[in-house]
Amino acid sequence: MPAVLFRSPNDSSEAWRKSLSERVPGIDFRADPNIGDPADVEFALVWKVPAGYLKQFPNLKAICSLGQGVDHIFADPDLPRGPHIIRLVDPWMGRAMAEWVLLQVLRFHRQGPEYEDLQRRKEWKSLPAPETSTRRVGILGLGALGAEAATTVAALGFDVAGWSRTRKSIPNVTSYAGPDELDAFLARTDILCGLLPLTPETTDLMDAELFAKLPKGAFVVNSGRGAQLVEDDLLAALDSGHIAGASLDVFRTEPLPLDHPFWTHPRVQVWPHVSAQTNADSGADQVAENIRRVFAGEKPINEVDPDRQY
Ligand code: NAP
Ligand code: GLV
């Protein structure tokens, strides 16, 4: 059997070796740096490998992301052309992300930051209670993760819309599509949640111009990718009061540098890229199936279109 290469700075090679060995009898699983002869490797299971790393495998048939995003693969200027590019689409991660987005929406909706300030000042004071059905939540990206987050938030009675490249039909979620409908989507959004893939089109999308199109007092949540958000523009919008608060799980540089102003900003909550973590148990069935398919010369599932880059 051809070899499966594993390399990730985040994920446990032993956990993946175990979960794949249970599903692919006789698997030749090689965790970097113990790769042996690179010519044996036909399937690469990777997360954030250095640029140029993958071109050393001359017989690669598939490159599989150890996450739902594939921007780390397309970032390689020497990415071999020809292998299938595959990603995880894991229902477990979909649920985790929906929980995280719901947590942020509820925190802002129920004035969490204001009550945390009051507690710090030992002030016993009630604020006017907000009405759920009038709180407008907007999800950027209605794919595997965005659609589940939107449905989950809508189930509690929020007024939910989503923005995507193509029109969607999701019960209780208003669909906005394409650049022409972005302004209308932003104008009706009190809590903006970013769940887009990082592509040339989405890089720097959340900038000063976009923040200005949100209603005054809107909140910004991002768990897509850090490079979609211009961090200085968000700081300026927070400091002017136009944006009332932000919850961020992804950053332009990760880990977030120790001197970054987000760490101590009173209106920013920092999460260390954990909203939907890769899970070697729930993710292994589809990876095992793709190893089987690729080695049999069949089309894999969850293949990414290299032209769209997501
Ligand atoms: P997906 O299924 O590929 O969905 C992507 C969505 O974004 C689709 O609805 C797509 O529109 C939309 N989109 C892409 N480019 C667009 C553009 N230029 N304009 C408007 N809409 C656009 O991806 P996913 O599985 O939901 O994951 C989304 C991202 O979440 C990943 O790429 C990754 O960056 C991030 N993520 C983060 C974490 C974390 O822990 N923070 C975990 C997993 C994933 P169409 O449907 O019309 O094509
Ligand atoms: C995590 O960020 C992922 O893309 O799965």
Q: To test ligand 2's pocket by mutation, which of 73, 74, 278 has the most ligand atoms within 8 angstroms of CB?
A: 278
| Strand order across the 28-31 sheet | 28-31, 3-7, 41-46, 62-65, 84-86
109 included as an active-site residue: no
- Cα 161 to the center of its chain, rounded Å: 18
State pLDDT tens for residues 231-285.
999 999 999 999 999 999 999 999 999 999 999 999 999 999 999 999 999 999 9
**Distance in Å from the first CA to the final CA of the chain:** 30
Q: Which ligand is nearest to the CA of 308?
A: 1
Q: Which ligand is nearest to the CA of 91?
A: 1
Is the CB of 69 inside a 6 Å radius of any atom of ligand 2?
Answer: yes
Percentage of the chain surpassing pLDDT 70?
A: 100
- Of the candidates 120, 273, 292, 293, the residue annotated as catalytic is 273
**pLDDT tens per residue, range 2-61:** 999 999 999 999 999 999 999 999 999 999 999 999 999 999 999 999 999 999 999 999
The pLDDT, as a whole number, for residue 123 is: 98
Decide whether any atom of ligand 1 lies within 6 Å of the 194 Cβ.
no
Catalytic residue at 225? yes
Q: Which pair of tokens denotes residue 264?
A: 């101590």
Question: Distance from the CA of 297 to the center of ligand 2, in angstroms?
Answer: 27
Question: According to the model, what pLDDT value does residue 19 have?
Answer: 98
State pLDDT tens for residues 75-134.
Answer: 999 999 999 999 999 999 999 999 999 999 999 999 999 999 999 999 999 999 999 999
In this prediction, residues 161-173 reach a mean pLDDT of: 98
* Longest CA pairwise span in the chain (Å): 68
Position 129 scores a pLDDT of 93
For the Cβ of 197 lying below 6 angstroms from any atom of ligand 2, the answer is no
Question: What would the two tokens of residue 194 be?
Answer: 């970013």
Average pLDDT (154-171) is: 98
- Tens of pLDDT, residue by residue over 193-238, are 999 999 999 999 999 999 999 999 999 999 999 999 999 999 999 9
The sheet that has 136-140: what strands, in order across it?
173-177, 159-164, 136-140, 191-194, 218-222, 243-248, 268-270
